Amino acid sequence: MSATSHGAVAGEAGRRRTFAVISHPDAGKSTLTEALALHAEVIDEAGAVHGKAGRRGVTSDWMEMERKRGISITSAVLKFAYRDSVINLLDTPGHGDFSEDTYRVLAAVDAAVMLLDAAKGLEPQTLKLFDVCRSRRIPVLTFVNKWDRPGREALELLDEVEQTIGLRPMPVTWPVGVAGELRGLVECATGEFTRFRRTAGGATRAEAEIVPAERAAVEEAPHWANAQDELALLDEIGAKYDEAAFLAGVATPVLFGAALPNVGVARLLDALVELAPSPAERTDVDGRPRAVDAPFSGLVFKVQAGMDPSHRDRMAFMRVCSGRFERGMVLTHAGTGKPFATKYAQSVFGQQRTTIEEAFPGDIVGLVNAGALRPGDTLYAEDPVEYPPIPSFAPEHFAVVRCAEAGKHKQFRRGISQLDSEGVIQVLRSDLRGDQAPVLAAVGPLQFEVATHRLESEFRAPVTLEPLGYSVTRRTDAAGAEVLDRQSEVEVLTRNADGALLAVFGSKWRLETIRRRYPEIVLEALPAGS
């Protein structure tokens, strides 16, 4: 690679902002995604990104989409230009359920936006996802949404963030008017006030007007005075923006707004461009950094099957980590050393697929016919590199799966091993249960539905599931397994994918009793969850 192209790659990487929104269902993630796209002028009317009917996250809708073999919102990567930047917004599954995919997406981002409902504050799924961000040291920006509706006090919400997750809030904007009566937003650093007026229906941008302080004090009384008091208080407690604290994951810039009427959304985009980090060097399995302008490397973070109605294809989503990707490149699969041709490289958003000719660090490339790829795999060109595997998360749901039809055992085995290799579900085994009755383990119960559905439709192997009453998982070793095998209400299973010994317990209480009785045995928590 020539010196100029090194510079070009670094420059392109510097323009990228790759992030995901973490939130609890109903906080407004889909609405925010649409609003962001609207500001970027990718689409011209809110709602056009993906159909309302399909995205309402009930299980049946989602399964219906799978059935139709359409591309669901779960696979969306929204890429658009904003100012001089290129924004990649990776969507985490929109349904009200967890799956491993949700977590894996976070392996491919450089920042996250934590979206809070002004009336609800921190909710359970937000907390779980935040834990993942913390463990991966992903900087988090906070957007307090639905300020156009009655909600909690701004200061109280900040306090909750600090008390509950220990993240120091640094307001970037401050609302004038309580939740439900939003008049506008003050820029904390400069004091500039932007007033918003809603337009009918909220389907287009709210009108924004910069109003001088003297006028605002009169026209927006008493809200203006209240906001000024609060800002003075924030000044006193030292909530000023601190870049190092944000990048280190100990503090979070906070912005207020309302995605539905499009208030504060452009400001959020500005904050992403100005504050969020661009792709940086990534550390490989041996702890060596690979610079963004090194030869090409990419990390597969998600594999989705059956995305094309006419083919049984599999698409792997790869994040470019270093170098320039060019369609047609022949890459090397780090795990096997085998070549991987990239003739069919696409970008995917909703139903749209576009062929990608080139991509830079931070971009997401969809690779079609990716039968050989699994989440966590590294692909590289020229200079070999392998990134650490994406950790699998502590499963909280378990069920024994059995083939329901005589004569379909071969299909059953093939299906199970396929789903396992794609990372759709974790497959656990034990000598006691035998090969005919492996245990499926999931982070969220919806994964069971997907697995059952695919076993039946794709592999023609109808199955029965027998739920097991375990909910807590710990990693143990051979010595621990020997002790645990003699206890009741605990079972040790071997995870197919990596051979890890997982001890599963009916409750935390059961785990604690055993831990107290046998303090010497290894019982290690898995990342996030449990």
The answer to whether 223 is a known ligand-binding residue is no
- Report the residue number, 7 or 180, with the smaller CB distance to ligand GDP: 180
Q: Say how many CA atoms lie within 13 Å of 376 toward its Cβ.
A: 15
Q: Is 92 annotated as a binding residue?
A: yes
Among 26, 313, 326, 489, indicate the residue that binds ligand GDP (CB under 6 A). 26
> Taking the complex as a whole, how short is the minimal distance between the CB of residue 261 and ligand GDP, in angstroms?
6
- Closest to ligand GDP by CB, 63 vs 329, is 63
Alpha helices, DSSP H only, in 56-178? 59-67, 100-105, 124-135, 154-165
Piece in contact with ligand GDP (CB under 6 A), picked from 25-33, 135-143, 222-230, 240-248: 25-33
Cβ proximity to ligand GDP, 14 vs 25, nearer residue: 25
Contact flags string 39-68 toward ligand GDP, x per CB under 6 A: ------------------x-----------
Q: For residue 126, which amino acid is it?
A: T
Whether the bond between 212 and the residue before it is cis, its omega within 30 degrees of 0, is: no
Binding mask 120-149 for ligand GDP (x = CB under 6 A): -------------------------xx-xx
Distance separating alpha carbons of residues 77 and 79, to the nearest angstrom: 6
Rounded to whole angstroms, how far apart are CA atoms 186 and 198? 17
Quick one: tokens of 506?
């009916």
Instruction: Give the CA distances from residue 451 to residues 99, 267, 409, 440, in Å, rounded to whole numbers and listed in that order.
Output: 12, 41, 16, 9
Radius of gyration of the chain (CA): 24
Q: Binding to ligand GDP by residue 85, rule CB under 6 A? A: no
The Cα 33–Cα 80 span in angstroms is 12
User: For residue 446, what are the contacts with CB-CB under 8 A and spacing of at least 6?
Assistant: 59, 62, 95, 97, 98, 99
235 is in an annotated binding site: no
313 is in an annotated binding site: no
> Which residue number, 108 or 259, has a Cβ lying nearer to ligand GDP?
259
Q: Token pair for residue 350?
A: 């909703």
Tokens 């245990």 sit at which residue? 439
Contact 114, 226 (CB under 8 A): no
Question: What is the DSSP code string of 53-79?
Answer: HHHS--HHHHHHHHHTT---GGG-EEE
Please state, in angstroms and rounded to a whole number, the distance separating the CA atoms of residues 446 and 437.
20
CB of 255 to ligand GDP, least distance (A): 13
Q: Which of 54, 94, 264, 438 binds ligand GDP (CB under 6 A)?
A: 94
User: Mask 237-266, x = binds ligand GDP (CB under 6 A)?
Assistant: ---------------------xxx------
Contact pattern from residue 442 through residue 471 relative to ligand GDP, giving x for each residue in contact according to CB under 6 A and a dash for the rest: ------------------------------
Residue 28 C-beta: closest distance to ligand GDP, Å: 3
Minimum gap (Å) between residue 79 Cβ and ligand GDP: 19
- Select the residue interacting with ligand GDP from 9, 16, 22, 28 (CB under 6 A): 28
CB of 514 to ligand GDP, least distance (A): 39
Report residue 492 as tokens: 């040790």
Q: Which residues bind ligand GDP (CB under 6 A)?
A: 23, 25-31, 57, 94, 145-146, 148-149, 258-260
Positions at the binding site: 91-95
